[in-house]
């Protein structure tokens, strides 16, 4: 395991101050025309969160302000992470543990969010246990805990060749995505690729086709990003 992998395998949750500083840096970047990969994932999520007072489960949201923002908007938000979520709010419920061993009731959530999370589950990172094909088990559990009209928002790294970085993450291919989402209805999807780099960091991302995202790593040295919104039941566009 190299230094980067070791860091991600054992690091503690970011402090609230660090999370807010990162959020501020993202906002400043946007003021100057930049857009990070996390920006495009959050924008996708916000656009697909429709309704009031939703019961929302954020899996792996430990280092994110998204659960707190949604709680402030009046949603009932549960954060499920192997590390403890450091924020507090009357509308927030925090569960620290392994989601694959959860005791959540069936049909208990209107929306589940996995922002750049599913690629880490089951690989032993962040001090969590290892499971084979944990991502498939996650989607099965998500299906169980969603209401019949429920949705799930999932984002992850995308590449034409599958790659597993031990104790860190998996890169998804079109074929694995097809198998992972079998039985779900895709109601929204976006692909993104890095466009501009500054001081060693990618500071601007742009929309892409699935093929462009799959080939991004070979062309620019960083994998594409895929954003999916899935539903358990088919709905016509005017019902969404």
Let me know the angle formed at the C-alpha of 120 by 5 and 6, rounded to the nearest 5 degrees. Answer: 15
Q: How much is the pLDDT for 21? A: 80
Q: How much is the pLDDT for 5? A: 38
User: For residue 209, what are the contacts with CB-CB under 8 A and spacing of at least 6?
Assistant: 191
Q: How much is the pLDDT for 14? A: 67
Topology of 3-239 in CATH?
A: Rossmann fold (3.40.50)
User: For residue 102, what are the contacts with CB-CB under 8 A and spacing of at least 6?
Assistant: 80, 95, 141, 145
Q: How much is the pLDDT for 127? A: 75
Q: How much is the pLDDT for 23? A: 75
Q: How much is the pLDDT for 125? A: 84
Give per-residue pLDDT as tens, 88-99: 999 999 999 999
**Residue recorded with tokens 């949705």:** 151
Q: How much is the pLDDT for 198? A: 84
Q: How much is the pLDDT for 153? A: 99
**Residue recorded with tokens 């991600």:** 8
Give per-residue pLDDT as tens, 153-178: 999 999 999 999 999 999 999 999 99
Q: How much is the pLDDT for 232? A: 93
Residue among 211, 205, 99 nearest 152 (CA)? 99
Q: How much is the pLDDT for 8? A: 43
Token duo for residue 200: 């060693």
Residues of the chain with pLDDT under 70: 1-14, 32, 235-240
Let me know the angle formed at the C-alpha of 68 by 120 and 172, rounded to the nearest 5 degrees. Answer: 20
Q: How much is the pLDDT for 240? A: 53
Rounded to two decimals, the pTM is: 0.89
Q: How much is the pLDDT for 7? A: 34
Helices (H), 104-170: 134-145
Per-residue exposure over 140-171, b if at least 16 CB sit within 10 Å of its own CB, e if not: ebbbebbeeebbbbbbbbbbbeeeebebbbbb
Q: How much is the pLDDT for 175? A: 98
CA distances from 37 to 78, 167, 202, 217 (A): 24, 22, 8, 14
Would you give the DSSP letter of residue 236? -
CA distances from 232 to 78, 108, 134, 162, 239 (A): 20, 14, 20, 26, 14
């Amino acid at each position: 395991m190299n230094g980067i992998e070791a860091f991600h395998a054992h690091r503690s949750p970011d402090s609230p101050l660090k999370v807010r500083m990162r959020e501020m840096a993202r906002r400043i970047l946007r003021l100057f025309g930049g857009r990070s990969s996390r920006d495009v994932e959050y924008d996708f999520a916000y656009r697909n969160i429709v309704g009031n007072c939703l019961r929302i489960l954020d899996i792996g949201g430990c280092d994110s302000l998204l659960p707190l923002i949604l709680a402030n908007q009046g949603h009932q938000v549960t954060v499920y992470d192997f590390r403890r979520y450091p924020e507090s709010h009357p509308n927030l419920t925090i569960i620290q543990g392994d989601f694959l061993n959860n005791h959540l009731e069936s049909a208990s959530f209107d929306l589940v969010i996995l922002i750049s999370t599913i690629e880490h589950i089951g690989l032993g990172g962040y001090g969590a246990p290892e499971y084979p094909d944990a991502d498939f088990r996650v989607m099965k559990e998500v299906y169980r805990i969603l209401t019949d009209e429920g949705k799930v928002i999932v984002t992850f790294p995308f590449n034409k060749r599958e790659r597993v970085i031990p104790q860190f993450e998996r890169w998804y291919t079109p074929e694995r995505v097809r198998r992972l989402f079998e039985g779900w209805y895709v109601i929204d999807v976006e692909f993104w690729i890095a466009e501009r780099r500054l001081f060693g960091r990618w500071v601007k991302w742009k929309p892409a086709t699935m093929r462009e995202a799959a080939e991004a790593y070979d062309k620019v040295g960083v994998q594409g990003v895929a954003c999916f919104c899935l539903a358990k039941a088919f709905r016509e566009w005017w019902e969404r």
